């Protein structure tokens, strides 16, 4: 079957990320909802998004979403906290009603907020995230709406995302983890739960867990988002009935570098056939 024929079939679930981290979300979604067609788009050409302006993040995210729609996605998950924090609401409120009223775009921050409270005993939760996500204060704002008794504090994850993208050596990674987590805990020593508020960080979850105080919960977003998407589709039959029930996944990137293909295969956990698309914007 030609690539054209594959992509003409409708009813796909699109996963958009600025790079590699969304693969951790995709893997968890596919475990919970296996019999679907998935399109994964990593905008590796423009990674990282975390140090870009809000407007730049919006333009890049919008372009990624529209590309996925053009290839048959009925629903797109922004598997990137920076995009969810800086572009999701505008896409949902301004772009979808005008151009794609039948399609949906969901983020990963609200599902995380809705579920994270069960993990904390002290009521103090820390978040490691990119500069743009921390600046948006979205975790704090949304948690205040959900449960004002929980204290949430976001901390920039330093160079962790770029270290992960560049496959940096373990010693540098661990040093950076210890630096950012000790910085966070110095601001609030009562934190007992750490949210990995950048999907890249799920790729080093074990290293983070072994670097933080014993007994601290380190929570990735993949399973939470997967369960929430399954519940969303159960409630929204108008979307669910449009989805193909053939199990497949197609991977796309905006970067032509061989390093990108190698890293995506490493983080997905198996060899993947990666197709390169023209730059989005």
Active site residues: 80, 198
Distance CA 173, CA 177 (A): 6
Q: Which of 187, 198, 194 is nearest to 211 (CA)?
A: 194
Angle of helix 138-146 relative to helix 109-116, nearest 10 degrees, comes to 50
Three-state SS string across the chain, please?
Answer: CCHHHHHHCCCEEEEEECCCCHHHHHHHHHHHCCCCEEEEEECCCCCCCCCCCHHHHHHHHHHHHHHHHHCCEEEEEECCHHHHHHCHHHHHHHHHHHHCCCCEEECCHHHHHHHHHHHCCCCEEEEEECHHHHHHCHHHHHHHHHCCCCEEEEEECCCHHHHHHCCCCHHHHHHHHHHHHHHHHHHCCCCCEEEECCHHHHHHHHHHHHHCCCCCEEECCHHHHHHHHHHHHHHCHHHHCCCCCCCEEEEEECCCCHHHHHHHHHHHCCCCCEEECCCCC
Q: What is the crossing angle of helices 258-268 and 22-32, to 10°?
A: 40
Listed in sequence order, the residues at least 6 apart from 233 whose beta carbon sits closer than 8 Å to its beta carbon are 33, 239, 240, 243
């Amino acid at each position: 079957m030609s690539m054209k024929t594959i992509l003409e079939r409708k009813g796909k679930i699109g996963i958009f990320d600025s790079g590699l981290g969304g693969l951790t979300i995709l893997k968890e979604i596919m475990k919970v909802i296996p019999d679907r067609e998935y399109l994964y788009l990593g905008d590796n050409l423009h990674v990282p998004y975390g140090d870009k302006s809000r407007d730049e993040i919006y333009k890049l995210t919008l372009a990624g979403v529209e590309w996925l729609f053009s290839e048959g996605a009925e629903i797109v998950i922004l598997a990137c906290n920076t995009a969810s924090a800086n572009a999701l609401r505008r896409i949902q409120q301004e772009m979808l009603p005008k151009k794609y009223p039948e399609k949906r775009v969901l983020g990963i921050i609200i599902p995380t907020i809705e579920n994270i409270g069960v993990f904390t005993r002290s009521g103090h939760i820390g978040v490691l995230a990119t500069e743009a996500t921390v600046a948006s204060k979205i975790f704090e704002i949304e948690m205040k709406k959900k449960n004002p008794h929980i204290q949430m504090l976001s901390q920039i994850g330093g160079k962790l995302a770029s270290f992960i993208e560049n496959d940096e050596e373990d010693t540098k990674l661990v040093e950076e983890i210890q630096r950012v987590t000790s910085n966070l805990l110095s601001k609030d020593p009562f934190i007992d739960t750490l949210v990995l508020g950048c999907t890249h960080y799920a790729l080093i979850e074990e290293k983070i867990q072994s670097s933080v105080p014993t007994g601290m919960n380190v929570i990735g977003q993949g399973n939470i988002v997967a369960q929430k998407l399954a519940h969303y589709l159960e409630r929204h039959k108008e979307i669910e009935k449009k989805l193909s029930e053939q199990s497949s996944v197609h991977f796309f990137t905006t970067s032509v570098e061989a390093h990108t293909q190698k890293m995506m295969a490493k983080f997905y956990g198996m060899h993947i056939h990666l197709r390169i698309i023209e730059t989005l914007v």
